[in-house]
Structure formats: structure tokens, C-alpha cells
Structure 1
């Protein structure tokens, strides 16, 4: 491979990354070596990887919360937004495709919009003009088996990478009981990704990448549920034998053209994404007997758009950055509900179910444009200021101008301060919004006590953030960051039906605050880290999708601030690894720890919604990997063994109570796993 092509490819990579810097934001980065050192390595899910970042909270269905916000996360591949998927618990992206993973939070620069509690950017593997690949198998407890494979290489100026994985186990969704093994919880998940890049000249290239994620999930059962209705003369059903299932698919693709000149740097990227979720109830009518409602749902979303970002170096002191974004999304929903007729007191009047179909669709758009200036006031002081304008035209028609400013001061070679303000505009996720036809269900078991259904609105936020990072010795860093948020139309999401797809709603007002402390020590073969965060989020007065809630909940929340259901007071994570050269390669023992103070639950006194808190918990994972240096076929071979939840801790993520919370979910019990991987 000619050296000049390799150098050009790397220079274009650096120029692409420079278009979208993280100036003033909190940036937590894991490179591929960091990912491989963690217990479980690249065979972990993306959410498990991110839980080791500061201020990231674990929730059910594989969800995470950054700084106590529900969702509001944006996923990017190589800096390009990949639109959100309709998913309940399946992860779209596989860590195997990542060369590095960045989590940006705090007061984001003007180029970041729409989802602003955190931006997760995966810099994908590209081949790096080097031929090779890898193949592996990972498995263990609960019937887990996960084969993976990838290949990368180049021919002339063309560079390529492809990856595929398959996951099967008996814990696709969190167990609703404290038992070691869930009932009816099998999953099969397929993921694939491809990357192709062609260098057109010394200053330009064209890149295409895309992938697919397909997941099949059994919905786990909670035995011992009492039947409440009669179906065709049957008034009993064993809830341990329910057969509910959900399928989730997502396909996405991006075509990007990049130009990197002396002063002008530009990337234009059209993109497409199709997502679909299907939920099927128990075929024998178990849902009807137990709950009086059986929904068969099909939700789909097709998104097409374009993202363009650029930078222009005006002088040694000023670098302008600018960009535009447009997205057109078509969403469809088709829900067929089997219900019973009831009288005015809610008593069943017939044991023969009715079938009611509620269909809908919407075409909506997102528009955005931004301009900002990175101004080097002095060699040690940088001001990054600008603004963006965003508009949404879908279930709500709103727009906002959002100023942003971040000041970064390198007070000394080992001390860096940052202070920032951001005005944020967060449109509701169109793929999760549906316009309900409540009147269809009058006089049935699906009728709602509240018939108000005001539209979901965009969240508007004032965000203040400041912090300092201090290097005390080579490889030893400590950072502290504090933030405060003032929200109008605070967006939240909840599970309000049997299908594990969340639905958004708004609190009229809200606020959040928090403090994060992070430490990292890397020296020689030793790598250690620890994070702790204290924070909370509260909201008052639910002003959209009111029909999801009970009248007493709405009445209390209308005049009181309550904790949002995902607010957790304390969150902690930590871990470490050591690389030991043992004569045949490198032996890497590793550990990571997660602490959660407990998400919200019902008030024990039954007065304050989300007024209770679940018990705190701490879990630890251990891993050991032997990486071989050779000779012959041993070169590139890695053998690993991992134990998750070492102490076999039984802990609740959710207890089934709280505002917008569905069934209870327990964290996974202890598991034993082994892996064999070979690179070539």
C-alpha cells in the first residue's frame, strides 16, 4: 500500500473529527484498547459499556440515563446523526464496530442539537488500509451464545470494513421476578455493519456505511397474576404461560462526501433509516383474561435526510464552524385491540371480545442551521460561541433560536477550567408519538379515566455547566463538573401498555442539577478509574398525553414538583485492569463496579407520585483474558473468562410502581461466560 494513501486517509480522518469538536463539553472517551480491557470486552452491549462513564444511570430494558434525563440521547457514527429507532430494549449498535466511543454531555457546542443530554459518537473501524479480520465466539450462562466476525482491508485507494454478530440467550429482557432464571425470555439478535471509503484526491473522499439490527424477544412472564376477566366462559389463566412477543428491526445507511482544504473543511452526508416494531399478544387470550386488553401493534418509521457540517479557518485566532440539517420522517401506527364491553361502573358485560383497529400516520420534518466561532482570546483562553436555529413540523409546530457559549481556560499545563451556557430545543421523538382516537374505546376495558390528550411539545431548556480538570501526576487526573438545568415542557417517557415501546409526555416545568467527580490513573500496565455523581430531576404539571395517567396522579402533580421516575440521587462506577507480560503474551485481569442509589417508586404512604425510592445496590464484574503473541496460529488468539454480578446480588431496577412505569424488573443474577477470539 503506497504510504501517501495511508497518510492521506489519516489526515482526512483528523480533518473530519476537527469539524465537530467538543469544546467546553464534558467528553468521556473509550478507545478500542479500553473497550477490550473491560470484563466482557467487546462482547458487552453498548449500554453496559457506557455505564462506566460519569453520571450514567442503569434502567430497565437496557436503557441508560445521562445526568438523570430520560432518553434525549443522540447517536452518531463518524460524527453523522443516525435517526432514532423504534425500540423497546434492542440495541441498534454493536461495540465490535467501534474504534472508539465518545460520550459528550454538558453545554454542547452549537453543532449539536435535538438530543442534548448526551451525544454518543462511535468512530467506526475503517480498515486503516491494512488487510485482516477477526472471528470469535462468546457464551455461557442462560444459554448465551454470541459468534462474531469481521474483515477489513484495502485495494488501491479503496478502504473497507465489514462486521457481523449474532446473539442468543434466555435473558432478552429483565426478569420481572427475583428468580435466577426468567420464564419465557428467549431472544435472538442479528447485527451487521459495513464501511467503504474511496479517496478521490489528496483533499477529498467519499464514504458509504450502513448497518442493520434485527431482534426477536419473548416478553418474560410474572407468575401468580390474578385473572380479572372472563373470555368465552374461561375465567382462569396461568400467567406463567403467557406468550407475548416483540420484534424490532432497524436498517440505516449514510453516504458522505468530505473535502479537506487548507482553510475550508466540509462534509455533506445524506442518510436514511427504516425502523419497525411489532408486538403480538398471547394467542390463547391470556392478555384478555388477565388484563382485559390484548393489543397487536405495528409501528414503523422511514426517515430520509441530509447533514452538512463545515469549518473555515479565518485566522490564527478564529475558526468558523457552520452547518445545516434536514430530516423528513414518515411514521405509521396500526394497533388492533381486543377488548370487552363494560358498563358505567367498569363491570364486564360480555365475555365475547370486540376487535377495534386504530390506525394513524404522520409526515414530519426537522430543520436546523448553526454558526459558531472558536475564538482564541489568548494562547490559554478560548471562547467558543454561536447559535443554532431549529424547527419541528410534525405533531407539534415549534421553533427556537438557541445561543451557545463555552469558555475554556488552560490556567496551567495541568489545570483546565471550563464554563458554559446552552439554550436547548428538544423536539418530541416522532417515532414514539401517536395521535390517539380515545372515543373508539368508550364503554370498553381500554377506556381511559382521563380523556384529555393535549399534543406532546418540544422541551426548551437553559443549561449551565462548569468544571475543572487537574492532572496531579503523570497519568493521574481528577475532574469535577457541576450543572443546573431550567426546563419548560420537560419531556419524559413511560410504558403505558403491554408493548415495550415507550410513549412521551410533558411536564409544564422542571429543573435538574448535579455534580460529577471523575478520576483516572494510567501508568505503565495499570489502568484505574472511578466516578461518582449526585443529582436529581423534578417536574410539575403534566400538560400532554394526560389520558395515560390516573386522575389522582394528575391532580397532585398539577400543584407539586415530583421526582421524575428515572431520577437517581447517587450513581457510581469504577474499575481497573492490569496488563501483565507473561512470556506467551499479555494476561489482563480486570474488574468493574456499578453503584445505584435506586430509581423512583410509589410513595409508601400512597400520597406522592414517585415519592418512594428503590433500595440501593452495588454489583461487580470480574474478567481475565490471555492474549497470545505467537508463535504461528497462536498469534492474535485471545481466551477470556468473565463473571458478572460476582456476589449474585438480587436487586430491583423497577418494582412496577411509579409514574409511567410498567412491570417490575430485576437486574441479572450471577453469570459465567467464556470467549475465544482470533485476529488475523
Structure 2
């Protein structure tokens, strides 16, 4: 009985103790089961890039390892079921120094951890430069359009190498037609080209004969056409995107002496390198020739056609840190051209005191100046944001000096024309990659331009269009024009699947100058990789193109009434903006390894189509509009690469038409105006068929190259109803590299023949809308050069 009583008493005591201890036990159980937490984080390198396959360990306050983890492809990691306390996260990876971060785990959890691992070897500036170049490229997409790229090697493989003028390089691309005075036309547009250097759009300058930009400083040159993303606007027939050489990535030092027939001399140099965080690249060239412009005579030697051209370019950059770079881009071109004389022309007017003045003695000249500068701050923020902010400025001027006596006798007017244009502004581009499968881009562009147009003209009094006095009279007309351009865009590049990319966006442009106009322009395009080697693209873009600043005001026409310099018509509507709908679609196919084929088609419907022409002896173009325009065509491309041989073929069909002249009507004969008012006519620069082809073969240290262009002929005759005969021009080159003994560098010997078949052909025949005189293509000429690549750099070789 006692034993049972004692047992009951003992049991009751235990129950009482359990009752009073239960809260503490429950609290302890809650602490040990429900306060476990996760520690998460990411591992990055010094450039902010994620590092995968990094081994991570978690150590407690005593130094004991309590958990392990490995970073994934995004550099992310986590430790699970970690009790509150203070821990050290230790990261170790091949090629990096160990990194440690202290993390505290409270009852509320732990903040995410970021570990920055330092490379065992210091991160080189070359790696940083390549990273920033990739970031800069990501700011400029090309989804939906066509892109044709000339690499530095491809330029060197041309018969004349990097002595080839930029316009002649671009003639090897599909859809590019040749014109006189160094002009080219892309997909049926007159000019309407945008030039970009390292992604920054240069402000417009006055149209000139000389080539302002040289392939010599290009690391690559790309021609973008078609339905381009919202980032590209204003000038959209073609975007010529030049990536410059960089002294850090392209160290170079050479001198080149090139020249040949037609009195051609072309010395040049390149020098680029780096020191610490600073890199530099500089180049300069001079061109002297006795055949500067396409002459009105067919012979190989023209009369009064000497040209002297000098240009320089510099690229300088400084790394503020491994993710931020400040760059200065600057260039200049100063050119003097003699205007070729046309012998044996009849004297049309009488000048007092000058009974005879042969047309072969007419001496006209043109002087051109171009200067530009861009200051670009470019970098990356974290791993998701790329940006570039670039203020810019450009000044260009053209002075046409007439032969006062000769122009009065043969043209009835002698005009001294000066035009200058100063444009300054800034461009901002940003890209955000923080959302999976999306790249958002946002940016803006501003440009303020001031144009000065001074015209000093001498002409004769006339009655009914017939000269009434041999004594000239003079007029002065000075005009100033201020224009403002404001642009902004937003777009998203959406990777719907691994094969399908959709780019959509909108840009807004406001032009305030000759007129005030604005437009919101939607853009949409997709790119679909059907299967390996086959890519489809299609797109639509709304576009707005402002007129050039080169124009003639109403005052010019009124004061010339009753003179031999009076224009044929009286109308002078103000040039206005062009508005377009553009559709583009194409496909590229790698048929077999090394063989790539492509086809691309386009259609443009335009309102107030812009065109330009030369309507007088001064070789300066004037802007006018057609009320409506239509442009369409198709392009075929092909290239083949196999071991030491490379070949390409590009063929294009194009139609460009306009109707109803609505500005600059005074430049047209009344009968042409009447015809155009009721007919679509071909534009003067329309060329139905164009073709470019080339072959490069490398054998040991030799390189042989040949390329050619074909054109069906530009338009001619009344209202452009005719066209010139077709032409074919072949160029050929041979190159040999010779290493010098005692590490004295390398010599490159180059020989080239332009117009190998010596075909005599007309680029223009003096007829058609906005065409003033004959212009013949080049005759056969032989050139040669020696380039000395100095020993303290290692420039890329054109011959492997």
C-alpha cells in the first residue's frame, strides 16, 4: 500500500514539474526547428561578371565548416537550414584569390551576400576594353534589317587596300549605286546616309567631293539597311557604322607611300598604342592627283583637274576604372579641287572687252573644310546596364570660286558661293538586361545647326530671256538658317525562344528649321533561326527624314528676274520633311560550310520624297521634294570561303520613282514640271541593276585580288525617261609581305590596276533632272605602294 502511495506521489511530482517546464521545452523546440534560415548570394569578378563553379564554404564563429555550396552559371549560391549566428562565407575558384564575406543570421534571416573575387593576375585593360566594346555594341541592335560588314582584313584584301576611298569600299556592298563626285546611293535614295563612329551619329555636313572618313582608321565598317530598330532615325537609307581602331587592342605603327599614274601621290601613317590607362590611335594622309573629279572628257588626262586632299583622325581613350571609359574622337579633312574644263564649247553670251575665251581655259575651283569631334563617356553599371553619353560637334564649309569671265560667257552667270554648317549636340543610349529574355533600350538625340549661305552672283540683263547688254550686273544674297532636331526612342528586344527574336519600339522626332514637323514612328521586326544556318528576318518601320540645309530661298529668284541667270520657272515651294512606310524581308542560308547565300526585298512608300540635284555651274546640290514616291527592290548576296580563297557576289534590282514636284520648282523646265505633275518618273540616281563581285587568293606570302562593279546606267534625258549604257569596271591587285632582318619590321609591297579593262564609260551625260554636265568614269591607271610596319608594334597581317 505504501509502495503504491509513493508511486502516485512520485508520478504527481513529475507531472507538476513537466507542467511548469513545458513552456521552456516548447520554446526550445521552436528555436531548434523553426528558426533555421537560408543564406543566399552571388559571386562576381572585378568587372561585375558572374563566376560559375566557385566552391563556397560556410564557417561558424569557431571556424568550423558547417555547410558547402557551388555557384551556378549565374554566379548564384545558397546555404540552407542555418541557425542564427555570425558566419563567414569563403569562396575559392581557379584563377582567383579566395574571397570572404561576413554574414549575420538573425531571427529575421540574413541579407544577400555579394562576393567580388579578384583575379590572381591583375585584370588587364585589354579584357576591360573588350568588355566595354561588347557593351557598346549591345546599344546598337540590327534586328529586322540587313547588315553587310567589311572587317579590317576585308578592307586590306581590296586591290588598293586601305588606300581605297570609303565610297569605293561601300560600292562592294549590295544595293549601292555609283554616282559622280564621290557620291553613292543606297536602295534608290539620294544620299540620305547616316554615319556613325563607335555608335555615335555624326551631325550632317555639307555634301562635298572629298571623302571625309577613311577606311584606314576602321576596325570594321558595316552598312545597315532595311527596317531598322527605333534607335536609328533621320537618315535611314543606309547607316554606315564604323568601329575605330584602338591603340590598346590594335597597336600599330607604319608609314605608307602609295601612288602612280595621273600624278597620284598618297603618303600616309598610322600610330597607336597605350600607356597605363591611356590609349591612343592616330592616322593621317595626303592625296594629290591630276584626276580629282570625274571630268567631262573621256581621255585619261583631264584639263584642270588637280586635287589636293589632306585628312587626319584621332581616337584617344582613358579608363577611369575597369567599367568606365572616356573617349575622344576627332577628325578633319581639308580639300582643294580644280573643276575640270570642257573644251570646244560654243560661246553663248557676249562679255564686253572679251571677244574670245576658249572653254578649255575656264578655271573654276572648290575649297572644302570638315572638322568633327566626339567626347564619349561609356560604361557598364553592375551586370545589367550599359550606357553611352556623347556630346559632339561638326563644322563644314564649301567655297566655290567661279571663273568670272568664262562662266559669264558660257553660262550667262558667275556665282561665288560660300556655305557653312556648324552642328552641335549630344546623344544618349542605354540598355537594360535585367529581365530574362529582354533587352530594353532607351535613348535620345539632340542637334542644333547653323547654316550660312552666301551667294555673290554676276549676270547679264535680259529681255525675254535674251541677253540685252554685254555689261554684267551683280547681286549679293546672304542667308542664315537655324535648325533644331530633337529625337528620342524606346525599344525592347524580346527573345521569345532560342530561335525567335522580336524587336519592337517607337521613336519620336521633331524638326524645326525650314518647316516645323514631328512624327512618332513605330518599328517592329523579327528574326527567326529556322534551323542551323538559316535565318529569316522581316520588319516594318515608319520614318521621317528632314531636308538638307542646302536650299535656295525665294529672294534669289525674284532678284534674278530679267537676267540671263533667271531660273526656268518661278515656283519655289519650301523643302519639307519626307515621311515613309518601309517594309523589308529576307533570308540567309549557309548551304555548305563556307558557302553563304542571301536574298532581301524591300518596299518604301513615301510622301514628300526628298531628292537633290545640281542645277547650275556651281557644283553644290539643291534640295527639292516630290509629292509622292515609291521605291522597291530585291538584293541577292553570296560568299564562299575555303582555305586560301575567298569570293563574293552581290546583285541588286531597284526601282525609285517620284511624281509632282512640290518644292524647288524654279530649277525645272516648265515642260518637265507639267510632265512630272501627271507621271511617276524615275529618279535621276535610279540604277535598275547593280552588281559587285570579287575574289581573293592567298599563296604563301602573296595575295592576289580582283573585284568589279557593274551598273546598268543612271537616268538621263527629258524627265529621266532614258538611261545611260551599262558599264563594267574591274580592279586588280597583288600584295607581298617581306619580314626585314634583325627585327626591323615588315615591308608590304602592293600593286594595283584600276579599270583593268580600260572601259570608257559615262557616269552622267549632262541630261536628266539635276544633272549639269558629262562625267566620265576613271580610265586605266597603275598604282603601287610600300608600307613599312615598324618593329615596335605587331599590327594585324593581311596575309596569313
TM-score class normalised by the smaller sequence: over 0.9
Partners of 1:454 and 1:650 in 2: how far apart?
Answer: 40
Alignment of 1:164-563 (within 5 A): 164-261=284-381, 262-283=383-404, 285-343=405-463, 345-431=464-550, 436-563=555-682
CA displacement at 1:512 relative to structure 2? 0.8
Q: In the alignment, what sits opposite 1:606?
A: none
- Comparing both chains, which one has the higher relative contact order based on Cα–Cα distances under 8 Å and sequence gaps of 6 or more? 1
Give the TM-score normalised by structure 2. Answer: 0.82
Partners of 2:250 and 2:367 in 1: how far apart?
Answer: 37
Q: In the alignment, what sits opposite 2:704?
A: 589
Alignment of 1:24-63 (within 5 A): 24-63=144-183
State whether residues 534 and 571 of structure 1, in contact with CA within 8 Å, keep that contact through their aligned partners in structure 2.
yes
State whether residues 130 and 154 of structure 1, in contact with CA within 8 Å, keep that contact through their aligned partners in structure 2.
no
State whether residues 85 and 431 of structure 1, in contact with CA within 8 Å, keep that contact through their aligned partners in structure 2.
no
- Count residues in correspondence: 669
State whether residues 600 and 611 of structure 1, in contact with CA within 8 Å, keep that contact through their aligned partners in structure 2.
yes
Partners of 2:538 and 2:747 in 1: how far apart?
Answer: 46
Q: In the alignment, what sits opposite 2:684?
A: 565
Partners of 1:20 and 1:416 in 2: how far apart?
Answer: 20
Partners of 2:553 and 2:635 in 1: how far apart?
Answer: 37
Is structure 2 residue 750 aligned with structure 1 residue 640? Answer: yes
CA displacement at 1:22 relative to structure 2? 1.2
Partners of 1:106 and 1:211 in 2: how far apart?
Answer: 29
Partners of 2:145 and 2:308 in 1: how far apart?
Answer: 37
Partners of 2:386 and 2:555 in 1: how far apart?
Answer: 46
Partners of 2:555 and 2:326 in 1: how far apart?
Answer: 44
State whether residues 204 and 423 of structure 2, in contact with CA within 8 Å, keep that contact through their aligned partners in structure 1.
no
Deviates more, 1:320-329 or 1:432-441: 432-441
SS in structure 1 of the partner of residue 535 of structure 2: strand
> 1:221 and 1:48, CA in 2 relative to 1: closer, same or farther beyond 3 A?
same
Q: In the alignment, what sits opposite 2:14?
A: none
SS in structure 2 of the partner of residue 471 of structure 1: strand
Partners of 2:203 and 2:212 in 1: how far apart?
Answer: 11
1:217-243: CA deviations, max 9, x gaps? 000011111111111142432111111
SS in structure 1 of the partner of residue 236 of structure 2: coil
Is structure 2 residue 787 aligned with structure 1 residue 677? Answer: yes
CA displacement at 1:636 relative to structure 2? 2.5
Partners of 2:360 and 2:192 in 1: how far apart?
Answer: 35
1:598 to 689, 701, 713: 713
Partners of 1:131 and 1:620 in 2: how far apart?
Answer: 33
Partners of 2:269 and 2:556 in 1: how far apart?
Answer: 47
Q: Which has the larger radius of gyration?
A: 2
State whether residues 183 and 240 of structure 1, in contact with CA within 8 Å, keep that contact through their aligned partners in structure 2.
yes
Q: In the alignment, what sits opposite 1:88?
A: 208
State whether residues 237 and 290 of structure 1, in contact with CA within 8 Å, keep that contact through their aligned partners in structure 2.
no
CA displacement at 1:27 relative to structure 2? 0.3
SS in structure 2 of the partner of residue 48 of structure 1: helix
CA displacement at 1:434 relative to structure 2? 5.2
CA displacement at 1:629 relative to structure 2? 3.7
Is structure 2 residue 773 aligned with structure 1 residue 658? Answer: no
SS in structure 2 of the partner of residue 430 of structure 1: coil
> 1:273 and 1:434, CA in 2 relative to 1: closer, same or farther beyond 3 A?
farther
Uncovered stretches (5+) of structure 1, i.e. residues with no partner: 604-608
Deviates more, 1:347-356 or 1:390-399: 347-356
Partners of 1:633 and 1:495 in 2: how far apart?
Answer: 54
